[in-house]
């Protein structure tokens, strides 16, 4: 008989978009009831570029949490004019856990992003010196580069040189989508890691064109061919500590996605752990889910693992067609696992 309940050390989400205002209030609970900690992306409409912004945003999140045991971990959005002293201040004050590199115009709210990595060399040098990780949206924005090749070209043109030029800089290659990215991370020096989303483990690029155009399967980096999805699954379930959980849950109003110029982002927070459990089970690797969800990310950031646990149960989980004005990932589908709730504290291995 297969297991019917699975108790994991409580997981963390190392990459999530929580937005602000009413949207924050609407989506936060889905993350906070499951994940103990989350790295909160700084790409608000007015990006989070200063320590003061990050502390204020953290306060707004904490005020919205309403009783859940949840710790938001804050990031700074790098721009061409970011100041090394400000970044160091963020690190020293304990407010900032990492800085985010969005190539300018690469994705949602990336207009203020970095136009050329040469412009932030002094910031990267300071981050390297103090030990502050760099989180990278790894896509070039050159319109001459095919949209499905943007991650691979980014590795060649930007990431490989950066990792060499700053040999002590810790880097997370966010939401990897290609076999080449997996290989790059695996073969890199120490201090290089990657997050993997539930959607890139479950869908390939065909999902955007199934019987018509499907905007809710569109995110950036865009899903690639099946061969890449298979490489991501293999990396996620491998147990290798360089690959860990980051949902990239990116909520948008359905109307903003179902549009002549629909925006990128998949809202997966309501289904994320059920989806990861489904993938790990399909790969015969449920025993390694906890490494991916609850150990490897904490180790990368030098944080303790969580003391409490999350219980998943094998029970049909019918994903709603809509949640408010949003369409969640896997809307209308049924998953074999669902989150039963939080369990008590543990001190030993629980699997
Ligand atoms: C994200 C968003 O909507 O903020 N969208 C997405 O497609 N992933 C931004 C990002 O992480 O690229
Ligand atoms: Zn993201």
The band of 349, judged by pLDDT with boundaries at 50, 70 and 90, is very low
Ligand nearest the Cα of residue 108 is 1
Query: What pLDDT does residue 345 have?
Result: 79
For residue 333, report the distance from its CA to the centre of ligand 2, in Å: 23
* Residue 350 predicted with pLDDT over 90: no
Distance 260 CA to ligand 2 centre (A): 22
How high does pLDDT run on average in the chain? 96
Out of 142, 248, 308, 325, which one is annotated catalytic?
248
The pLDDT of residue 106: 87
Q: What percent of the chain has pLDDT over 70?
A: 98
**Largest pairwise CA distance in the chain:** 58
- Mean of the pLDDT values across residues 276-289? 98
Looking at residue 195, its pLDDT comes to 99
Asked whether the predicted pLDDT for residue 188 surpasses 90, the reply is yes
Task: Say if residue 46's pLDDT is above 70.
Answer: yes
Active site residue 248: yes
CA–CA distance, 275 with 338 (Å, rounded to integer): 9
Centre of ligand 2 to C-alpha 175, Å, is 7
The whole-model pTM stands at 0.97
Separation of alpha carbons 89 and 51, rounded Å = 7
**CATH number listed for the domain at residues 12-299:** 3.20.20.140
**Which ligand number lies closest to the CA of residue 151?**
1
pLDDT of residue 1: 64
Output the ligand 1 site: residues, CB below 6 A: 17, 43, 107-108, 137, 219-220, 248, 250, 264-265
- Residue owning the nearest CA to atom 9 of ligand 1: 108
Q: Which of 272, 275, 254 is nearest to 263 (CA)?
A: 254
* Residue 247 Cα to ligand 2 middle (Å): 8
**Which ligand 1 atom is the nearest neighbour of the CA of 174?**
11
342 three-state secondary structure? strand
Closest CA to 31 of 69, 76, 78: 69
Residue 66 has what pLDDT?
Answer: 85
| Residue 138 pLDDT exceeds 80 | yes
- Ligand that comes closest to the CA of residue 47: 1
Closest to 145 (Cα-Cα) out of 134, 131, 133, 158: 158
59-104 residue pLDDT tens: 999 999 988 899 999 999 999 999 999 999 999 999 999 999 999 9
């Amino acid at each position: 008989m297969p297991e019917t309940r699975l108790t994991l050390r409580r997981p963390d989400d190392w990459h999530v978009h929580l937005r602000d205002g009413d949207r924050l209030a609407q989506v936060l609970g889905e993350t906070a009831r499951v994940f103990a900690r989350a790295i909160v992306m700084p790409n608000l409409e007015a990006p989070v570029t200063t320590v003061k912004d990050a502390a204020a945003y953290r306060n707004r999140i904490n005020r919205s949490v309403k009783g859940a045991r949840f710790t938001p971990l804050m990031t700074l959005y790098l721009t061409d004019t970011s100041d090394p002293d400000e970044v160091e201040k963020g690190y020293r004050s304990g407010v900032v856990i990492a800085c985010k590199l969005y190539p300018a115009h690469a994705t949602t709210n990336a207009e203020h992003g970095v136009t050329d990595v040469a412009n932030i060399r002094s910031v990267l040098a300071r981050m390297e010196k103090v030990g502050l990780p760099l989180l990278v949206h790894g896509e070039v924005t050159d319109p001459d580069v095919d949209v499905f090749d943007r991650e691979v070209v980014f590795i060649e043109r930007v990431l490989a040189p950066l990792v060499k030029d700053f040999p002590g800089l810790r880097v997370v290659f966010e939401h990897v989508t290609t076999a080449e990215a997996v290989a790059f991370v695996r073969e890199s020096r120490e201090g290089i890691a990657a997050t993997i989303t539930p959607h890139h483990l479950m869908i390939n690029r065909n999902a955007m064109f199934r019987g018509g155009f499907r905007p809710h399967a569109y995110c950036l980096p865009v899903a690639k061919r099946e061969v890449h999805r298979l490489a991501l699954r293999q990396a996620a379930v491998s147990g290798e500590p360089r690959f860990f959980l980051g949902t990239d849950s990116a909520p948008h109003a359905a109307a903003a996605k179902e549009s002549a110029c629909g925006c990128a982002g998949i809202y997966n927070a309501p289904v994320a752990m059920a989806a990861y459990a489904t993938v790990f089970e399909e790969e015969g690797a449920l025993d390694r889910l906890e490494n991916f969800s609850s150990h490897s990310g904490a180790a990368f950031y030098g944080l303790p693992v969580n003391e409490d646990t999350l219980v998943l149960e094998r029970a049909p989980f019918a994903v709603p067609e809509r949640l408010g004005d949003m369409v969640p990932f896997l809307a209308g589908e049924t998953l074999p696992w669902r989150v039963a709730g939080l369990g008590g504290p543990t001190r030993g291995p629980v699997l």
